[in-house]
Amino acid sequence: MTASTPTSPAPAPQRSRLSLYLDLIRFDRPAGWLVLVWPTLVALWVASNGFPGWHLLVVFVLGTVLMRSAGCTINDIADRDFDKHVKRTTKRPITSGQVSVKEAAMVGLVLTLISFALVLSTRWEAVAWSVPAVLFTILYPFTKRFFAMPQAFLGIAFNFGIVIAFAAVTGEVNATAWTLWLANMFLVLAYDTEYAMVDRDDDLKIGMKTSAITLGRFDVVGVMGFFVLCWALIAWVLAPYQLGWPFWLGMAVAAAQIGWHYTLIRHRTREGCFVAFSKSHWIGAVIFAGVALGFALK
């Protein structure tokens, strides 16, 4: 009786380029673009005093998704060496060598050009604001090397949708727009600090700067403070629009969610903090629902 010859493990199946590109832009994780689209739609509705029309709706929803996808490619190119040392990111397409830097750059460029073409169908003021939006999107990943609160820089990049929405509708960016911009800045600081809390141990090892590290033991207090400031600013700036019970119901549900976030992050577990981040888009969703229904019923 002969001994059986050991067999080598079967090679991993070859993935299509499309599958890899979809991974690159986080296609399977819509939470990343949903946190962007809801505040942008709130701005669009407020600037338009109600439904903005199908053209602007399509432009801003599609443009938000495309620019977030382009931002993912830029982020992964910039962080390709750091991602090798973070548990959650070791298998990303660029870091794992499945997609080259040149390929990823081309994907990001194509997505950015399509997004820019969409903005060109609106007012020139919106087009002008889209230029710094792209620049901040490109610069953000590099701020994590030296800036103590890179989430603030991310907030600037993410908030251009609000500014561009007002510019596209009215041709100007007024005080209401900037207040909504500031409110969303605090929202970004809140949910992206939750995200940073997931990777804090890895980031400390590789020398990455994040708000979770900068805030230290005050991280939970900081996140909750950011959420409260966001909620208060939105309530203050939109109260004069008299959107009635739908708006205040949406704000009440948002407040309840903020309380739930505290229960998720108070023990600082990776699992709890990641769930908090991944569900944070629902805060923007209920606020937008209240705004949209409030305008519809006026």
Query: What are the pLDDT tens digits along the chain (298 aa)?
Result: 444 444 444 444 567 888 888 888 888 888 889 999 999 999 999 999 999 999 999 999 999 999 999 988 988 888 787 667 666 677 788 887 788 889 989 999 999 999 999 999 999 999 999 999 988 888 887 887 777 788 888 888 889 999 999 999 999 999 999 999 999 999 999 999 999 999 888 888 877 888 889 999 999 999 999 999 999 999 999 999 999 999 999 999 999 999 999 999 999 999 999 999 999 999 999 999 999 999 999 8
Residue type, 231: W
pTM: 0.89
Q: Which two tokens stand for residue 40?
A: 């942008």
C-alpha distances in angstroms, 180 versus 188, 225, 241, 262? 12, 17, 14, 23
Q: What is the Cα–Cα distance from 260 to 152, expressed in whole angstroms?
A: 23
* CB contact set of 255 (below 8 Å; sequence gap of 6+): 231
Strand, helix or coil for residue 39: helix
Q: What are phi and psi of 293, to 5 degrees?
A: -70, -35
Pick from 140, 151, 165: which is nearest to 63 by CA?
165
